[in-house]
A = this chain, B = another copy of it.
């Protein structure tokens, strides 16, 4: 199992991070994801990190990278399911994931992507 599965759900792709990430796996994920965005014309990427107890600078950089690459392919990235303790640690470490949108859970993340597609508001879900 050297690949993280990428699931298509409507206009979005869903990735659940469950295993310890390392360089090769992160690179493979980026490659697979860009190929899948191109193949499925997905407009959003949801990354669930609810099973991660620790998000270090490596994971933080990977999330930033994925968001940047997806943006180039016109897909928005939303990180969902971050544990409260992880959020506290990230801020304390000075890693505030500025390039990445977040939502409490998959459903809210999906709503953010759909709202933007429907032009119902800006990407945060607020009406403009």
Contact across chains for A1 and B16 when beta carbons are under 8 A apart = no
Output the least CB separation between A12 and chain B (Å).
11
Counting every copy of the chain, the complex holds 2
From B1, B7, B48, give the contact of A53 (CB < 8 A): B1
Contact across chains for A8 and B51 when beta carbons are under 8 A apart = no
Q: A18 on the interface (CB 8 Å rule)? A: yes
Q: A84 on the interface (CB 8 Å rule)? A: no
Q: A19 on the interface (CB 8 Å rule)? A: yes
From B5, B20, B110, give the contact of A50 (CB < 8 A): B5
Q: When each residue 1-13 of chain A gets 1 if its CB lies under 8 Å from chain B and 0 otherwise, what string results?
A: 1011101111000
Dominant secondary structure of chain A at its interface with chain B:
loop
Q: A69 on the interface (CB 8 Å rule)? A: no
From B3, B8, B19, give the contact of A1 (CB < 8 A): B19
The complex places the Cα of A14 from the Cα of B107 at a distance, in Å, of 12
Q: A105 on the interface (CB 8 Å rule)? A: yes
Q: When each residue 60-76 of chain A gets 1 if its CB lies under 8 Å from chain B and 0 otherwise, what string results?
A: 00000000000000000
**Chain A residues engaging chain B, CB cutoff 8 angstroms:** 1, 3-5, 7-10, 14, 16, 18-20, 48, 50-53, 81, 105-107, 110
